[in-house]
Amino acid sequence: MNLKGRSFLKLRDFTAEEILYLVDLAEELKEKRKKGIKGHSLQGKNIALIFEKPSTRTRCAFTIGAQDEGATATYLAGSELQLGEKESIEDTARVLGRMFDGIEYRGFDHEFVEALAQYSGVPVWNGLTDQWHPTQCLATLLTLKENFGHIKGLKIVYLGDGRNNVANSLLMGCSKVGVNIAIAAPKRLWPDADLVEECRGYAKEAGSVVEVSDELDVVEGADMLYTDVWFSMGEEKKEQERTKLALPYQVNAELMKRTGKDTTLFSHCLPANKGKEVTEDVFESEKSVVFDEAENRLHTIKAIMVATLGE
């Protein structure tokens, strides 16, 4: 499959076959890394890593993924650039595109990453925006495949803030590849109705189901319960109000039992507020694949770079 020259901004832009190809490629690259086999797909390439928001997993995954394949990654803090302030994002994109072979962007406004892709002339990869977090969804899909041997027909239930970038990306990615996806959240934190409708269309085509509910019964039959912090970066002032709203959707031992399966996994995109969206015992349990998924950020991000920029 040829994805050369493509940007990776949101899963809406990719077919089910393309998403699954990236998951398979990540699995292959992970196996090679375990055996100590390094690639040369990005040899001689220069990659810009733009971070307006702080990061552990995304920054490390892009840096190590690039190095493993022979590229040089240059970290650029958002505060060090003229992003949309003294210089338009379009002009910054045109400058960076003449110096770098690929650009990663992690920040706030999704329009910024779209503009970078439009004007830079090189592949641009979304490390997170307020609306989408597509690399996280790929890591989730790889983690599911490793644990169950397949992806299609599984069920994920995402609990808590159903409007955030991880929930949006899981809705989009899962519905496209035939994973049943449910959002369990208070009505005030439900995802955008148009997005849900769009994803239901993809799910119908893929033979799966999209559900949005404020009832916890929706966890029945889940293969994975998934959650995230109840307030995203920049929303700290809403902590008290959001905690009160979302507390009934905390992932705890009782909720894990309500799935009716002893094979149900727990995951989280990290960082976690243990004791809030998830209890410490579930987070640290043998059913937790949180750190497997964190590692899989590296392999899926590497796959994205190799597929879109590699030789």
Which sign, positive or negative, has the C-alpha torsion 236, 242, 246, 247?
positive
Segments of the chain with pLDDT less than 70: 84, 232-236
Tell me, yes or no, if 269 is annotated catalytic: yes
With a CB cutoff of 8 Å and minimum separation 6, the contacts of 122 are: 96, 97, 100, 101, 102, 103, 309
State residue 81's pLDDT score: 80
Q: How many CA atoms are closer than 13 Å to the CA of 65, on its beta-carbon side?
A: 29
Catalytic residue among 110, 133, 242, 299: 133
Tell which residue, 2, 4, 16, has the closest CA to residue 199.
Answer: 16
- Write out pLDDT tens, residues 75-118: 999 888 877 678 899 999 999 999 999 999 999 999 999 999 99
- The answer on whether 136 is annotated among ligand-binding residues is yes
With a CB cutoff of 8 Å and minimum separation 6, the contacts of 259 are: 157, 219, 220, 221, 222, 225
- The answer on whether 63 is annotated among ligand-binding residues is no
Determine the Cα–Cα distance for residues 112 and 118; give it in Å rounded to an integer. Answer: 10
Instruction: Judge whether 21 and 182 are in contact, CB under 8 Å.
Output: no
List beta partners, residue 251: 278
State residue 232's pLDDT score: 67
Would you call 92 helix, strand, or coil by DSSP? helix
- The answer on whether 92 is annotated among ligand-binding residues is no
Distances (CA, A) of 50 to 17, 93, 214, 233: 29, 11, 37, 17
Catalytic residue among 223, 228, 242, 268: 228
Which tokens go with 18?
């393309």
Tell which residue, 187, 257, 271, has the closest CA to residue 225.
Answer: 257
- The answer on whether 60 is annotated among ligand-binding residues is no
For the beta carbon of residue 31, count every other beta carbon within 10 angstroms.
11
Catalytic residue among 6, 131, 136, 161: 136
- The answer on whether 129 is annotated among ligand-binding residues is no
State residue 78's pLDDT score: 82
Orientation of helix 165-177 relative to helix 193-206, angle to 10°: 20
| Same-fold call for 11-132+297-309 versus 136-293 | yes
Tell me, yes or no, if 228 is annotated catalytic: yes
For the beta carbon of residue 79, count every other beta carbon within 10 angstroms.
8
- The answer on whether 131 is annotated among ligand-binding residues is no
DSSP H/E element including 181: strand 180-184
Which sign, positive or negative, has the C-alpha torsion 295, 45, 55, 113?
negative
State residue 231's pLDDT score: 80
Tell me, yes or no, if 106 is annotated catalytic: yes
Determine the Cα–Cα distance for residues 72 and 70; give it in Å rounded to an integer. Answer: 7
**Phi and psi for 211 in degrees, rounded to 5?**
-125, 145
Domain layout of the chain by residue ranges: 11-132+297-309, 136-293
Determine the Cα–Cα distance for residues 275 and 293; give it in Å rounded to an integer. Answer: 20
The beta-strand segments (E) located in 31-170 are 46-51, 72-77, 102-106, 124-128, 155-159
For domain 136-293, the CATH superfamily is Aspartate/ornithine carbamoyltransferase (3.40.50.1370)
Tell which residue, 155, 228, 213, has the closest CA to residue 183.
Answer: 213
- The answer on whether 281 is annotated among ligand-binding residues is no
DSSP H/E element including 267: strand 265-268
Catalytic residue among 6, 68, 106, 250: 106
Tell me, yes or no, if 297 is annotated catalytic: yes
- The answer on whether 98 is annotated among ligand-binding residues is no
Q: Does domain 11-132+297-309 have CATH number 1.10.760.10?
A: no
Distances (CA, A) of 207 to 96, 152, 204, 250, 309: 42, 9, 5, 29, 32
